[in-house]
Amino acid sequence: MIIAMSIGNTNFVLGTKEDNQISVGRYPAKLIGSKEDFIKIITDSTDIKKVKGIIISSVNPGLTPYLTEAVKIIFSLSPVIVNSDLKMKLDLSLYDTKLLGSDRIAVCEAAAGRYKEPAVIFDFGTATTINVIDSGNKFLGGSILPGISMGLNALYKDTAQLPDIDLSAASPLMGLNTKDCITSGAVFGNAAMLDGMVQRIEDSLSEKTAVIVTGGNAGNILPVCRTKVIFIPELLISGLFELYESNL
């Protein structure tokens, strides 16, 4: 069994791979504040005697030391830590890798080589990241913008009268009350962003792309996107397992 762990800003994700079968669990990062919390999650969710290897990605440096300490306590294994120096299919030569998040590396590595055309990867997480790789697996750069939930939280916190809402219910394109107007902006606005960014990127590259979508907020907007997309919920974890196998 191989374990892949990703500490994000919103969730801690733990994936296991055994006999080519992948299982994934998610745990709110805000409920984790010590190495003991990580130890409990790991020992409760995995058969630690079966674990042969570990890979870790983190974009939440406040929690990273707790996870590395937990791994040292539980296992007699040195984890692979995701960074730009690992062996990978992805060519990062154009980018300032000192500032490239390990989550972006993982999703791009998972997408690299899957399709004959260039790929645009949208990760709708706490922040929304857009990453572009060409048909030769070279990372061409991308964009970062506030995530859907982050935008909704900002509207609620930074205005006097707008309500706090979630996206559990669909809304019309043209809302007839404040809640529906906010939901429409979040859903249709982000869908239009995806459609528009894909068109601009394809115009820049002068060729069509494979559009891959992942991330916890993706499900809210996919039904109203006009672009044909490939939805891969566990793209990040898949990328971590690929990186692990490339660095044995």
Q: Residue 170 — very low, low, confident or very high, per pLDDT cuts 50/70/90? A: confident
Q: Residue 127: helix, strand or coil by DSSP?
A: strand
Beta strands 2-7 and 53-58: pairing type?
parallel
Long-range contacts, 46-51 (Cβ 8 Å, 24+): 46/1, 46/3, 46/14, 46/16, 47/1, 48/74, 48/75, 50/1, 50/18, 51/1, 51/2, 51/3, 51/75, 51/77
Q: Name the band, by pLDDT with cuts 50, 70 and 90, for residue 169.
A: low
5 touches 57 (CB < 8 A) = yes
The string of pLDDT tens digits covering residues 133-166 is 999 999 999 999 999 999 999 999 999 998 898 8
Tokens found for residue 241: 């397992």
Q: Residues at the annotated binding site?
A: 6-13, 101-104, 123, 126, 178
Residue positions forming the annotated binding site for K(+): 123
Catalytic residue among 91, 103, 158, 164: 103
Say if residue 55's pLDDT is above 90.
yes
Asked whether the beta carbons of 242 and 152 are under 8 A apart, the reply is: no
Q: Given a cut of 70, is residue 67 above it in pLDDT?
A: yes
Interatomic CA distance for residues 229 and 222, integer angstroms:
8
Mean pLDDT computed over every residue of the chain: 95
> Cβ(119)–Cβ(210) under 8 Å?
yes
The CATH class for the domain spanning 97-240 reads alpha beta
**Residue 189 exposure: Cα atoms within 13 Å on the Cβ side:** 16
Domains of the chain, by residue range, sit at 2-81, 97-240
CA distance 110 to 4: 13
Residue 103: active-site member: yes
Give the end-to-end CA distance of the chain in Å, rounded to a whole number: 14
What would the pLDDT profile of 23-49 be if each residue is shown by its tens digit? Answer: 999 999 999 999 999 999 999 999 999
Helices (H) and strands (E) in the chain, counts: 7, 10
pTM confidence score? 0.94
Annotated binding site for ATP: 6-13, 126
Q: Would the CATH topology of 2-81 be identical to that of 97-240?
A: yes
Query: Which architecture, in CATH terms, is 2-81?
Result: 2-Layer Sandwich (3.30)
The answer to whether residues 118 and 135 touch, using CB atoms and an 8 Å cutoff, is yes
| DSSP character at residue 90 | -
